[in-house]
């Protein structure tokens, strides 16, 4: 059994997975790779971005988690973000204000035009890795162990913050994916007679 704070976080990841599975259900390849405008992302690119982002964040989080386990840093308090981390996680939540859009760091820009099946599989695999990390390290002091943010030099977040950021980041781009899917369905719908 996970403590309530981690149970809620795990349920947030489970909800993201259900949302992603619904997003790609019955989506054709043409709809899944359709872009609404030059420079914008398709549903497949949104999922590809999440897959890469999840893996880059986890790669930064795993070494401190291993060191914490070796040092016996067991859970002391709930796994909630600190003030800065909480603000950052909240800033990722949808809906996204078009005037406050963030540019993806170069390391996690999606591949151009990935096939929908490949991008979906990559996302679900990375998402499973995130959930395994959460379960494997639920007994650690996730709020007290810090890792270097892989995108902002000198910034360190707690592992708890990292997990909350990953959940919010997934919600952000699944929301984006739904907007693209609706536009793609409209654009690819047969014309009425």
| Of 106, 92, 82, residue with least CA distance to 155 | 82
Look at residue 192 and tell me whether its pLDDT is greater than 60: no
Domains, the chain, ranges and CATH?
4-186 (1.20.120.450)
pLDDT digits (tens, 9 = 90+) for 21-80: 999 999 999 999 999 999 899 999 999 999 999 999 999 999 999 999 999 999 999 999
Angle between helices 83-91 and 159-188 (to 10 degrees): 10
Q: Is the dihedral of CA 173, 179, 181, 183 positive or negative?
A: negative
* Model confidence pTM above 0.85: yes
Which residues have a Cβ under 8 Å from the Cβ of 170 and sit 6 or more positions away?
A: 13, 16, 20, 50, 54, 127
Compute the distance between CA of residue 81 and CA of residue 3 in angstroms, rounded to an integer: 16
Contact 64, 57 (CB under 8 A): no
């Amino acid at each position: 059994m996970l403590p309530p704070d981690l149970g809620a976080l795990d349920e947030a990841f489970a909800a993201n997975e259900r949302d992603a599975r619904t997003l790609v259900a019955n989506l054709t390849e043409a709809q899944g790779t359709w872009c609404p405008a030059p420079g914008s992302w398709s549903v497949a690119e949104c999922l590809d971005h999440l897959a890469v982002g999840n893996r880059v964040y986890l790669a930064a989080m795993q070494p401190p988690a291993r060191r914490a386990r070796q040092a016996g840093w067991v859970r002391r308090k709930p796994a909630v973000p600190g003030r800065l981390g909480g603000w950052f996680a909240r800033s990722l939540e949808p809906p996204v204000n078009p005037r406050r859009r963030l540019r993806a760091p170069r390391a996690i820009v999606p591949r151009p035009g990935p096939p929908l099946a490949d991008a979906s599989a990559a996302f679900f695999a990375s998402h499973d890795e995130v959930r395994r990390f959460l379960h494997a390290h639920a007994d650690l002091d996730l709020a007290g162990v810090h890792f270097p943010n892989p995108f902002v030099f000198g910034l360190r977040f707690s592992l708890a913050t990292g997990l909350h950021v990953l959940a919010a980041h997934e919600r952000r781009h699944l929301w984006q994916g739904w907007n693209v899917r609706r536009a793609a369905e409209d654009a690819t719908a047969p014309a009425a007679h």
